Structure 1
Amino acid sequence: MSVPHRAPAELLNSRRSPLLVFAGQSNRPLAQAICDHLGVPLGRSKTEKFTNDNIIVHYEESLREGDVFIVQTFSNPVSDSIMELMLMIDAAKSASAGRVTAVIPYYSYARSDKKDSPRISIAGRLIADLLQEAGADRILTMTLHAPQVHGFFKVPVDHLSADLVLSEHFRQCVPDAHNGVVLAPDAGSIKRASQIARRLDSGLAMIDKERLSDTEVRPRALIGDVDGKTVFIVDDEISTAGSLVETVNIARSMGAKDVYVAVTHGVYSGPAIQRIAGLDVTQVASTNTVLVPESKVEASNGKLAVLDVAPLFANAITNIHTGASVSTLFT
Structure 2
Amino acid sequence: MPNELEFEKPILELRQKVDELRQLMETTGIDLTEEVAKLEERLAELSQSVYQGLTAWQRVQLARQPGRPTTLDYIRGLCTDFVELHGDRNFRDDPAVVGGIGLLEGRPVTVIGTQKGRDTKENIYRNFGMAHPEGYRKALRLMKQAEKFGRPVILFIDTAGAYPGMSAEERGQSEAIARNLREMAGLRTPTVCFVTGEGGSGGALGLGVTDRVYVLEYAWYSVIAPESAAAILWKDASQAPRAAETMRITASDLLAFGIADEVLPEPPGGAQKDPAAMVARVKEKAVQALEELSRVPIAQLLQARYDKYRAMGSFAER
Shared fold, TM over 0.5: no
Q: With CA pairs under 8 Å and 6+ residues apart, which has the higher RCO, 1 or 2?
A: 2
Structure with the bigger percentage of strand: 1
TM-score of the aligned structures, taking structure 1 as reference length: 0.34
